[in-house]
Amino acid sequence: MIAVIDYGMGNLGSVEKALKYIGSDCVITSDADVIADASGVILPGVGSYGPAMDQLADRDLINPIFDAVYSGKPFLGICLGMQLLLEGSEENVIERRETKGVVSGLGIIPGFVRRFPESGLKVPQMGWNNLTDVTGRLLTEGDYVYFVHSYYCQLGDAHDNAANTEYGIKYCASFEHENIFGMQFHPEKSGDAGLRILQKFTAETRL
């Protein structure tokens, strides 16, 4: 069973629908015991970085996330959920009066979340892009997937980079570190390519 973490900011219905469509047993939950018992965990996300970290703390989900990640079970962060796994983000810095220049994240993956630089392109990025430079085992070179975001992940360790894409700049579209996967795009909204990616993640939970 895959646990989809509910912290009030995830695209829960679409993720659940996609997983059930491919025949994956899943449950939407904020229960630490259910997360601990799951064979795999997904941290989805739609919204802003600071409020998302607040929600994780308020719902006592930070330690269950750490426990799941370090148990070795497959763990997937989607969009904002991917970004939260990094050390921090430039998002919400001004309104929170952060003197260190970032809002702190979970710090599981080295790196920081940056806002897209000015390039003449509309931000947020909303649309379909191909994955390039693919090394991640869940992905295929050229996968055409759907993105919606204003910030991107700048990894601290290039070895964690599993795929790139371009929107004004080339940036990390996916990372992979042992049992931990991050996807800036939404596989649950990416048609056949996204379903194949979720099928591969589901297969990882059964190994």
Active-site residue 204, yes or no?
no
What is the tens place of the pLDDT at every residue in 101-124?
899 999 999 999 999 998 899 999
Instruction: Report how far residue 85's alpha carbon sits from residue 153's, in angstroms, rounded to the nearest whole number.
Output: 10
User: What are the C-alpha distances in Å from 192 to residues 15, 163, 198, 199, 202?
Assistant: 14, 18, 10, 10, 15
The catalytic position among 26, 153, 177, 186 is 186
Catalytic position from the list 16, 91, 176, 188 = 188
CB–CB of 42/5 below 8 Å? Answer: yes
188 is catalytic: yes
Name the active-site residue from 26, 79, 153, 172: 79
- The predicted-structure confidence for 48-68, as pLDDT tens digits, reads as follows 999 999 999 999 999 999 999
Domain CATH number, residue 150: 3.40.50.880
> Over the stretch 75-86, which tens digit does the pLDDT of each residue have?
999 999 999 999
Number of structural domains (the chain) is 1
* Report field, pTM of the whole predicted structure over 0.95: yes
Q: Look up residue 130 and give its two tokens.
A: 């191909």
- Angle, to 10 degrees, between the axis of helix 62-71 and the axis of helix 49-58? 90
Instruction: Give the domain range for residue 47.
Output: 2-204
Is the pLDDT confidence value at 189 over 90?
yes
**CA Rg value for the chain:** 16
